[in-house]
Amino acid sequence: MRPATRFALAMMATALTLPLWGARPGEPAPDFTATDTYGRTHRLSDYRGKFVVLEWQNRGCPYTRKHYETGNMQRLQKQWTARGVVWLTIISSAPGKQGYMTAEEANQYFAQMGAASTAVLLDPQGTIGHLYDARTTPEIYIIDPKGVLIYQGAIDDKPTTNPEDIKTARNYVDLVLSQALAGQPVTISATRPYGCSVKYADE
Amino acid sequence: MMKPFKHGATLRPLCIIPIIFGLSQVVRAQTAGGAAHTRLELVSDRALAVPGQRLWLGLHFQLDRGWHLYWLNPGDSGEPPRVQWSVPTGWRIGPLRWPLPERLQQGNIVNFGYEGDVLLAAPLDVPASARPPGADISANVHWLVCREVCLPERARVSLHLPVGRPFARPSAAMSLFARARARWPQSMPASWRTRLTVSQHTLTLEVRIGRPASAAEFFPYPPDPLDHAVPVQVNPFPAGVRLTFRKSDFVPGPVNELAGILVLPGSRPIEIRARALGRAAQARPPVSRRR
């Protein structure tokens, strides 16, 4: 069998056996292993006992830029990692697509932006992206210490590229983590994400 | 019938065309960096504003090949254009009318938008007190244009509308409006009936139109409860059609209403608004769609 055919068959088999709709709030977050920009390996299940934020990122996307160039994303990263939250920034852009960065480029970019994620995970094959069915940047997933997904969706309630809107937006990361860390029930578990499409490899 | 012109029928139209084109210039959009991909023009369907009457203004977007912009519900990504109008005191401008969009799919992302060109129109009520020479109308427009990547663009466009009596001539942009109007959704015919059944993961919209419809397409208005990446099941029955949608995982809790545009073969786009059965019905396990 030609490798391409074998790959296609494997993909079809995967598509049939995997749940069709990524992750769902209230259910266990799908586990994954990924490599960060320093070559370190991260397994989601190793972070049991902590809250974890997954942030899908594309430096060229105007919606992502809105949150990075105003410092809003870095503020969220600093504020919540300081309280023990693990923040994983994930880049699922394929090589040649908008937002793709090599490890070195990513380290330079995130240092320059003053980002404060726990780690930046490189996902050029889109494996984690497809596992979660992440569709946009910035898209947010929040996982509780038991490994259960407690939030998926938009970063806030203003689906625009206008930086001015950040001041008046209701930020869902702040909302969900404030409630969850205080041991309160989370009042919003899913919202429709907004932004750019994730720049996966062509199918 | 045309009213005879005092100065000769051939001369008059020649005078009007330069007025229309001379005062409404096509503006290349501005963008934060790089080249813009849209040209925008503000047009009106009448060459003259008649006191006490309504005319239509239109934002005519012309997009570079391969680029698109978004409908009022952009779908899984993007955002619709936003407009801030500036009209003289006493002139009243209404909400935008959006022509039927296209469904644009790229991988697991489904968008509703426009390629090529689109006219977004708004009604303008000219006050009875309007007097010559006329009024300056302008619009500050922000939009997102995407191909594979997206760019925010903006432009300020303006138009001088001469006030005239006793009749309003159609403008050179009339055909643009005719094309847009043909794609405006119509109110639902009074004889049609809708019903929405919601289960944990699906929504079924039943539309009774008095005949079977073998195909159907639906464009949801916000707030949009649907997962667009999952194909819609279209089931015709003798009196109409049932569409079964996958409910979006991003929309927690019960769905009480589904609104949007229904397109059936051989029919103008129709605006549909369907209320769900009571909450008790939603809590029940899904029942079979076929009877």
Sort out which chain A residues have CB atoms less than 8 A from B82's CB and list them. Answer: 160
Where, residue-wise, is CATH 2.60.40.1250 in chain B? Answer: 11-181
The 10s digit of each residue's pLDDT in B105-151 is 988 889 999 999 999 999 999 999 999 999 999 999 999 999 988 99
Q: Do A62 and B151 count as a contact with CB atoms less than 8 A apart?
A: yes
Sort out which chain B residues have CB atoms less than 8 A from A135's CB and list them. Answer: 76-77, 108-109
Query: pLDDT value at position B30?
Result: 67
Asked whether the predicted pLDDT for residue B171 surpasses 80, the reply is no
Q: Which residue of B has its CA nearest to A141?
A: B250
Domain ranges of chain A: 25-197
User: What is the pLDDT of chain A when averaged over all its residues?
Assistant: 91
Predicted TM-score (pTM) of this structure: 0.83
Give, in order, the Cα–Cα distances in Å from B291 to each of B143, B171, B287.
Answer: 46, 54, 10
The percentage of residues in chain B with a pLDDT greater than 90, rounded to a whole number, is 69
Sort out which chain B residues have CB atoms less than 8 A from A162's CB and list them. Answer: 142
- Residue positions counted in chain A: 203
Cα–Cα distance for residue pair A95/A101, rounded to 1 Å: 8
Give, in order, the Cα–Cα distances in Å from B237 to each of A155, B93, B206, B261, B289.
Answer: 42, 43, 10, 20, 11
A200 touches chain B (CB under 8 A): yes
Q: Which of A6-10, A54-58, A155-159, B156-160 has the lowest mean pLDDT?
A: A6-10
Q: Do B249 and A60 count as a contact with CB atoms less than 8 A apart?
A: no
Q: For residue A115, what pLDDT band results from cuts at 50, 70 and 90? A: very high
For domain B11-181, the question of CATH label 3.30.365.10 is answered with: no
ipTM: 0.79
* Nearest chain B CA: its distance from A191 CA (Å): 5
Sort out which chain B residues have CB atoms less than 8 A from A153's CB and list them. Answer: 250
DSSP B254-286: ---EEEEEEE-TTS--EEEEEEBPPHHHHHSPP
**CB A177 within 8 Å of CB A77:** no
Asked whether the predicted pLDDT for residue B16 surpasses 60, the reply is no
User: What is the pLDDT of chain B when averaged over all its residues?
Assistant: 85
* Chain A interface mutation, best of B31, B79, B224, highest count of A Cβ atoms under 10 Å: B79
Q: Do A62 and B144 count as a contact with CB atoms less than 8 A apart?
A: yes
Query: pLDDT value at position A181?
Result: 97
Stronger pLDDT, B249 or B92, i.e. the higher one: B92
Q: Do B249 and A189 count as a contact with CB atoms less than 8 A apart?
A: no
The 10s digit of each residue's pLDDT in B193-225 is 999 999 989 999 999 999 999 899 999 999 999
Query: pLDDT value at position B19?
Result: 39
Asked whether the predicted pLDDT for residue A7 surpasses 80, the reply is no
Question: What fold is seen in the domain B193-283?
Answer: Immunoglobulin-like (2.60.40)
Sort out which chain A residues have CB atoms less than 8 A from B149's CB and list them. Answer: 60-61, 98, 196, 199
For domain A25-197, the question of CATH label 3.40.190.10 is answered with: no
Query: pLDDT value at position A21?
Result: 53
Cα–Cα distance for residue pair A176/A170, rounded to 1 Å: 11
